[in-house]
Amino acid sequence: MSVNSKTTSNNDKYSKKRGSYPEKNPLLVEGYIFPLPRVLPPVWHPIEQELRVVFGRLVASLRPAGRLLLKELMQPSDYEYLLPPGLVLFSGRIFSKERDQYLPAVFMELVYLGTKFLNLAGDLRGKEQQMFILTGDYLCSHLFHLLYETEKLFLLERFSALITAMNEGFSSEEKHRLKRSKPGKTEIKEWLHKQYGVFYGESCALGGLFAGCDKREHSLLKEFGTAFGIAYGIHKKGYNLLSADEFLEKGFQVLSLLPYSQSRRELVVFAQRVFEYCSA
């Protein structure tokens, strides 16, 4: 089952009933532009208030057209969209609770949403497909505008490389699907590394970077997030040629090289609970 939801079975699917009056979704707070439920599952409780600030800042940063697009199209079936900012926040807490972790969390959520809409467009047709493509492009371009606006252009190369790697992973997998060829372990591992590993690795690394971690700590967080991402991708896509537990354990071993703290323990518990929900 998909992450953090015991009532839904496919975190790739959004509600198909869209328009001016979309069907009510239990994960949406009525009247809010961005979907954030009034009560989150326990796994999110340590960072619940911080998550609300993140999405409040995300909404405030969007142009009116972007807000309308998200209000109309954002119909999540589970809590996966909270995972990128969640990893940013949990990773940053290891080093500092005083510094602003909200900005990198907003950055990673924009990457997630932009990529999500572009991937969903592949399952649609006609004007609806065009709308999802335009929304994905809009969110990705807004990320680069926000980097400029917040004077964080030093991150431009990182995000360009990240989005390029993710697109390579998804396009390579799609190429195999269209050819109806059976992938091997090497191909699958490469896809998942690019689709999920680099993304969640960057989420953890940025959380540490903005909290003031040093170069070694930054590298360890990135390695942990990469292993977590590959394990998550295995669970999400149901590839049984690879072991999610093996990658997750590797990530925990890397994380153990950081000095022990309650915040480090919270990150481990969070990752474990995500996979408990995945396996439920």
pLDDT in tens, 25-39: 433 333 456 657 788
Q: pTM for this one?
A: 0.85
First to last CA, the chain: 6
Do residues 263 and 96 make contact, with C-beta atoms less than 8 angstroms apart? no
Among candidates 146, 150, 233, 220, which has minimal Cα distance to 194?
233
Does the pLDDT at position 240 exceed 70? yes
The mean pLDDT value for 205-222 works out to 96
Q: Supply the pLDDT for residue 49.
A: 92
φ and ψ of 106, to 5 deg = -65, -45
Residue pLDDT, tens place only, 115-171: 999 988 888 888 889 999 999 999 999 999 999 999 999 999 999 999 999 999 999
Q: Supply the pLDDT for residue 29.
A: 39
Q: Supply the pLDDT for residue 150.
A: 94
User: Of 17-31, 54-68, 140-154, where does mean pLDDT reach its minimum?
Assistant: 17-31
The mean pLDDT value for 90-118 works out to 90
Name the pLDDT band for 113 (thresholds 50, 70, 90).
very high
CA 72/CA 70 separation, integer angstroms: 5
The mean pLDDT value for 70-94 works out to 88
φ and ψ of 243, to 5 deg = -105, 115
Which residues contact residue 69 at a Cβ distance below 8 angstroms, ignoring those fewer than 6 apart?
Answer: 131, 135, 138
The mean pLDDT value for 206-221 works out to 96
Q: Supply the pLDDT for residue 58.
A: 92
Name the pLDDT band for 208 (thresholds 50, 70, 90).
very high
